[in-house]
Chain A
Amino acid sequence: MGIFTSLGQLEEAIPLIERKGAKVRTVYSPIDCREILQKVGVRKTSPVRFATLLGGLAGLSLGVGFAIYTFLEWKFVTSGKPTPPAVPLVVVGFEMTILFGFLSTLLCMLFLCGLPRLRGSQGYDPRFSKDRFGLLLECDRAQREEIEISLEQAGAEEVRVLRTRETSQ
């Protein structure tokens, strides 16, 4: 795994390493940087959007449906208006759409990010939240040396080896 001071070096490092045959596991970064995703080859946009859509629709139908139900429950005439009246449903529906859409987005996002998580993951370094970038790679023992070297060439300020199932000393 390599720790970089600048995003630029990190960006250059990724293709270089991948050519060497190592796989990028995780990129740690203090900022949201779209370019990394490109390099790592992940689509920018996330499936959260669909949750949003569903949530919104659910909210809309629930709001309107519930309001109508309550009107029919007692059929109180107020201000000579019909029960159920059409106009007020707009407001109810609108607010519910937003509320549910928002909440479903939130939950889905947390879920996909694997939050909340209790224990720090392997290889995480507090500096990542400040000004350092981390590049966690996976490779077989054979390539290790070579990759470490190329990481340093790429400008990694520090290169660290983590013991995992497939990588051993």
Chain B
Amino acid sequence: MPSLGRRHFLKLLGLVGSASLTGCSSESPRRLIPYLNPPKDVVPGKASWYATTCMECQAGCGLWARNRDGRVVKLEGNPAHPVNRGALCARGQAGLQGLYDPDRFRGPGEKDGSGVFRALSWEEAFSKAAMELKGLLSRGEGERAVFMTGLLTGSLRDLCIKWVEKLALGGLVMYEPLSYEPLAQAAQKVFGTWAVPHYSMEKADLIISFGADFLSTWISPVEYARRFSEFRTPEEGKRGFFVFFGPRLSQTAANADMWLQVRPGAQRYAALALLKASWKDKEGEKAPWPGSAHLEAFLEKWEEETLLSKAGLKREEFHFVRKLFQRSRRPIVLSSGLETVDPHAHETAWISHVLCSLKKESLELIDVGRGWSVASAAKRSELLSLRDKIESKEISLLLVHGANPVFSFPEFEVLEEAVRKGHLKLIGLSSTEDETTSLSSLILPASNFLEDWADVEPRPGIRGIVQPVMGTVFDTRGLGDVLLELTRRLIPGDPLGHYSFDGFLKERWKSFHEELGIPGGFDSWWAEILRRGGQWVEPSSSKRCEVASVSPPMEWASDEGGQGFELLAYPTVQFLDGRGANRPWLQELPDPMTQITWGSWLEIHPQDAERLGISNEQVVVLKGFGGEAEIPAYVTPLTIPGVLSMPLGQGHTSFGRFAKGCGVNGWKLCSRGANHVSIQPRALKVKFANTDGSLSQHGRGLAQGMDLGEYQEAKSKGQLPKLRLPLPEAYDPKEDFYPPHKHNLYRWAMVVDLDRCIGCGACVIACNAENNVAIVGRELVLQGREMQWIRIERYLEDHPLKVRFLPMLCQHCDAAPCESVCPVYAPHHSAEGLNNQVYNRCIGTRFCSQNCPYKVRRFNWFTFTRPKPLHLQLNPDVTVRQKGVMEKCSFCVQRIVEAKNRIRGERRTLRDGEVIPACAQTCPTEALVFGNLMDPESRVARLSRDPRAYQVLGHLNTKPAVIYLRRLETRREDMAP
């Protein structure tokens, strides 16, 4: 950051009263205590939190970054932020590993023809870059240069636009692989606005999703997961019903009350059938909508039979859904808006919008006016024209920041050729090497969003602030500062009016200050903004969006007569489109459905597999329009016959050491609109590094369900569950051999609500980050040596195919079998009921793990290390374990201790909710609740009296302190009209 910038910035921080960044020169975090004599408001060993905003995807969740001794060690959701309300997904948690990515550019440099990287000073780099541009500008060929970025919002976007205008460049292209363009386009047609609508799901009473995975990756998963769980809460009898149409039992479908199997290409027919069936009983204005006539004419053309057969739907199932829709007052209909999931996403999106419009109240739940900023990403058409321009040599210089089209946009393979032929030069501004940046001859690495200033506007009205939460790890500079510096070198004076980007940003916020007419001076408000993490106005009573036209699309694409299988490539909870692939945490996060780590796979239905003689883990050659690839087959009922599904985001060629050699790039294989592929088995097997020992729970009743009706009855009767609580009161002479024992003040316990758990795995990553849990790599996962302290067990059940998720962590039993078998007291019972594991005392007999019925203890087979600078992320409050030591979940004991220190001298005990373990803190659906069981009013105590409460393997009478709440199941009969 330029010096003035820093001074500026210090002033601001002085106001916020948190100036720990003074010490954060780029090398400071390399020392454990970076200060010889620290600034007086920084106490070594005491954490300071900074509010900022996540830029890992376009959802724009608010963050709290925990800075210890000058380095960020943990990211958590900002409780005040309207998007995520304190929760954070796995990818957000792993943002840290983007910051400390060992494969980031250490500093500016250039690449010669042979691709050898040569470091440059910023001075040199700037002059070289300026020269490139000057060359064009002097010849008045500014438009031959194009600036391509990832999706930008707020000040950065303004700056980039201004910059491109100022230099009269060819334009700014914001590339976002998951742009949901079909949704925006359909919204344009139906509601008259180009927008990706925002849905207030919690207010709905029925959700129908055509392949939209809104619980894992779709638009804003954390927010929608939260709203979904509200929509589902069984309070006062009301419980929303969720129907999923789609070709794959995705993590979202797994949480649906009903999964209707539809081929990717046929989702539009299913939607159309529903529209045709329910068009007549539409509510709304007497005056028909514009285009109603056309629509009716269009619907006439279709026979319900043909539609159903095309969609491959069973009659009664479809009619059941139809009746549900008919009956419901506020249904919401979603569609994926991704061509890799639904080749006719446009049609499906259009129909689903129209379906929503059929109900008056539904229109109030759809916010088009304040839609998602992702709608402003470059349209496919624009990208294609850019591609053509590059091919036709109209463009000779491409500046790239945070966009990786070469990886995720097959058509952009031309870039490589153009660069090789030498009629295109790339200047990379990305902070990490990726497939696109690796083509660039000059690299001016931008800082990570945790080191830089910015602001994010995921939706109008929500402005999240992004502030540096630590000094730069490497010799990098903020994108804004780089652009400003370049302008200065090209145009004399200070053309954009600012020396540094934070000045630019602040000026923009000054204008908001005026707009909003906020009383009081700007500086105090600004300090408040920095503390709160942004500024957001609650939506003024949502005005219902108006229907512009329902006339059907002019062209209704005919089914492409492709042979063979339909290929479905879905964004994953770990990597989204692939941007997370170099984060070891995410690589080792088991896929929610397949439980596979480190690699990609091709899901094929057992019938097809049998027909083609393909066995599990057998490699198949997959031929599609996008070329061919070799990928191991995963034989599973998760995908339907005739459809092959594979995850996106793997198969990077130059994205860093962790992404290297992991799986196949799905983007390359699915060229949009035409997704038919053929496969042949090869006589070769590749082992999956999966973490599950079994698909089903063999009727052992670990993950239990309960019928909604029964539950409500039991609740009304005030029935109490039969539990063996870890409390003296629960002592039962008939069952217990040993007398009870007391705890002092606290008995820590956790409640896991299986009805809320959606299996997203955010808790796993949060735990990794908080507790320095080691990443072991593919080879060791294959040997069953993964180290995660909390895991989401996935169990399948047949007839009907059902999925159950079961978060499994140390149960902190009151009579823990692991304790007494240890010869040296390494595990023992604490006065507060914790099952302590004393690492220093452990000699590694592994008897405790042997004797743990839940198998949640993890042994350090080696001394696991982290490549620098990933080690900077380690949490100083938690020991890093050595080889030969057993470890396990500690209920984040370090947080309990910290909280107790905080209230020391207040003469009181900790209140409910004052201590929250990392996993519970980050859970988007509040499925995990932590507290003191001895306080009868605490949430855990109250929930443990719920009729749904049970203990896993309770019959062993180990008195586990983790109490599970059964998943609720709605019987169809109960829903049937």
Instruction: Report A's interface with B, CB cutoff 8 A.
Output: 74, 76-82, 85
**How far, in whole Å, are A74 and B827 apart by their CA atoms in the complex?**
14
Q: Which of A77, A78, A81 contacts B822 (CB 8 A)?
A: A78
**What 15 new A-B contacts, CB under 8 Å, besides A78-B829, A80-B829?**
A76-B825, A77-B819, A77-B828, A78-B816, A78-B819, A78-B820, A78-B822, A78-B828, A79-B817, A79-B820, A80-B741, A80-B814, A80-B815, A82-B738, A85-B738
Closest residue of A by beta carbon distance from B827: A78
User: Which residues 795-850 in B have Cβ within 8 Å of A in the complex?
Assistant: 814-817, 819-820, 822, 825, 827-829
**How far, in whole Å, are A82 and B814 apart by their CA atoms in the complex?**
12
List, in ascending order, chain B residues with CB within 8 A of A77's CB.
741, 819, 828-829
Say whether B520 faces chain A, with CB atoms less than 8 Å apart: no
Q: Which of B739, B829, B959 contacts A76 (CB 8 A)?
A: B829
**How far, in whole Å, are A81 and B958 apart by their CA atoms in the complex?**
12
Contact yes or no, A79 B815, CB < 8 A: yes
**How far, in whole Å, are A79 and B825 apart by their CA atoms in the complex?**
11
List, in ascending order, chain A residues with CB within 8 A of B959's CB.
80
Q: How far is the CB of A95 from chain B (nearest CB, A)?
A: 15
List, in ascending order, chain A residues with CB within 8 A of B816's CB.
78-80
List, in ascending order, chain A residues with CB within 8 A of B819's CB.
77-79
List, in ascending order, chain A residues with CB within 8 A of B820's CB.
78-79, 81
**How far, in whole Å, are A60 and B785 apart by their CA atoms in the complex?**
44
Q: How far is the CB of A110 from chain B (nearest CB, A)?
A: 34
Q: How far is the CB of B841 from chain A (nearest CB, A)?
A: 11
Q: How far is the CB of B566 from chain A (nearest CB, A)?
A: 55
List, in ascending order, chain A residues with CB within 8 A of B825's CB.
74, 76, 78
**How far, in whole Å, are A85 and B819 apart by their CA atoms in the complex?**
14
20 contacts across the A-B interface (CB closer than 8 A): A76-B829, A77-B828, A78-B816, A78-B819, A78-B822, A78-B825, A78-B828, A79-B815, A79-B816, A79-B817, A80-B738, A80-B741, A80-B816, A80-B829, A81-B738, A81-B815, A81-B820, A82-B738, A82-B739, A85-B738
Q: How far is the CB of A132 from chain B (nearest CB, A)?
A: 55
**How far, in whole Å, are A81 and B828 apart by their CA atoms in the complex?**
11
Q: How far is the CB of B343 from chain A (nearest CB, A)?
A: 59
What 0/1 pattern do residues 620 to 640 of B give for CB contact below 8 A with A? 000000000000000000000
Closest residue of A by beta carbon distance from B816: A79
List, in ascending order, chain B residues with CB within 8 A of A76's CB.
825, 828-829
List, in ascending order, chain A residues with CB within 8 A of B827's CB.
78
What 0/1 pattern do residues 127 to 169 of B give for CB contact below 8 A with A? 0000000000000000000000000000000000000000000
List, in ascending order, chain B residues with CB within 8 A of A85's CB.
738
In order of increasing CB-CB distance, the 6 nearest A-B pairs are: A80-B815, A78-B819, A79-B820, A77-B829, A78-B820, A76-B828
Q: How far is the CB of B828 from chain A (nearest CB, A)?
A: 4
Closest residue of A by beta carbon distance from B817: A79
**How far, in whole Å, are A85 and B737 apart by their CA atoms in the complex?**
12
Give the most central of A74, A78, A79, A80: most B CB within 10 Å: A80
User: Which residues 732-772 in B have Cβ within 8 Å of A in the complex?
Assistant: 738-741
**How far, in whole Å, are A74 and B738 apart by their CA atoms in the complex?**
19
Interface residues of B, count at CB 8 A: 16
**How far, in whole Å, are A79 and B737 apart by their CA atoms in the complex?**
11
Closest residue of B by beta carbon distance from A88: B820
List, in ascending order, chain A residues with CB within 8 A of B828's CB.
76-78
**How far, in whole Å, are A81 and B822 apart by their CA atoms in the complex?**
14
Closest residue of A by beta carbon distance from B740: A80
What 0/1 pattern do residues 941 to 977 of B give for CB contact below 8 A with A? 0000000000000000001000000000000000000
List, in ascending order, chain B residues with CB within 8 A of A74's CB.
825
Closest residue of B by beta carbon distance from A79: B820
Closest residue of A by beta carbon distance from B736: A80
List, in ascending order, chain A residues with CB within 8 A of B817's CB.
79
**How far, in whole Å, are A158 and B822 apart by their CA atoms in the complex?**
68
Q: How far is the CB of B184 from chain A (nearest CB, A)?
A: 60
**How far, in whole Å, are A81 and B815 apart by their CA atoms in the complex?**
8
Closest residue of B by beta carbon distance from A81: B738
List, in ascending order, chain A residues with CB within 8 A of B741's CB.
77, 80, 82
User: Which residues 853-889 in B have Cβ within 8 Å of A in the complex?
Assistant: none
**How far, in whole Å, are A80 and B827 apart by their CA atoms in the complex?**
12
**How far, in whole Å, are A85 and B828 apart by their CA atoms in the complex?**
15
Closest residue of B by beta carbon distance from A85: B738
User: Which residues 502-523 in B have Cβ within 8 Å of A in the complex?
Assistant: none
Q: How far is the CB of A125 from chain B (nearest CB, A)?
A: 55
**How far, in whole Å, are A62 and B825 apart by their CA atoms in the complex?**
22
Closest residue of A by beta carbon distance from B851: A79
List, in ascending order, chain B residues with CB within 8 A of A78's CB.
816, 819-820, 822, 825, 827-829
**How far, in whole Å, are A74 and B824 apart by their CA atoms in the complex?**
12
List, in ascending order, chain B residues with CB within 8 A of A79's CB.
815-817, 819-820
List, in ascending order, chain B residues with CB within 8 A of A82's CB.
738-739, 741
Closest residue of B by beta carbon distance from A83: B741
Closest residue of A by beta carbon distance from B814: A80
**How far, in whole Å, are A78 and B814 apart by their CA atoms in the complex?**
9
List, in ascending order, chain A residues with CB within 8 A of B740's CB.
80
**How far, in whole Å, are A80 and B742 apart by their CA atoms in the complex?**
10
Q: How far is the CB of B813 from chain A (nearest CB, A)?
A: 8
List, in ascending order, chain A residues with CB within 8 A of B814's CB.
80
**How far, in whole Å, are A10 and B135 apart by their CA atoms in the complex?**
127
Q: How far is the CB of B917 from chain A (nearest CB, A)?
A: 22
Q: How far is the CB of B836 from chain A (nearest CB, A)?
A: 9
Q: How far is the CB of B852 from chain A (nearest CB, A)?
A: 12
Q: How far is the CB of A87 from chain B (nearest CB, A)?
A: 10
List, in ascending order, chain B residues with CB within 8 A of A80's CB.
738, 740-741, 814-816, 829, 959
Give the most central of A74, A77, A85: most B CB within 10 Å: A77
Closest residue of A by beta carbon distance from B731: A80
List, in ascending order, chain A residues with CB within 8 A of B815's CB.
79-81
**How far, in whole Å, are A77 and B740 apart by their CA atoms in the complex?**
11
Closest residue of A by beta carbon distance from B737: A81
**How far, in whole Å, are A79 and B829 apart by their CA atoms in the complex?**
8
**How far, in whole Å, are A81 and B825 apart by their CA atoms in the complex?**
13
**How far, in whole Å, are A76 and B828 apart by their CA atoms in the complex?**
7
Q: How far is the CB of B904 from chain A (nearest CB, A)?
A: 25
List, in ascending order, chain A residues with CB within 8 A of B739's CB.
82
**How far, in whole Å, are A40 and B739 apart by their CA atoms in the complex?**
63
Q: How far is the CB of B735 from chain A (nearest CB, A)?
A: 12
Q: How far is the CB of B606 from chain A (nearest CB, A)?
A: 44
**How far, in whole Å, are A93 and B119 apart by their CA atoms in the complex?**
73
Closest residue of B by beta carbon distance from A77: B829
**How far, in whole Å, are A78 and B815 apart by their CA atoms in the complex?**
7
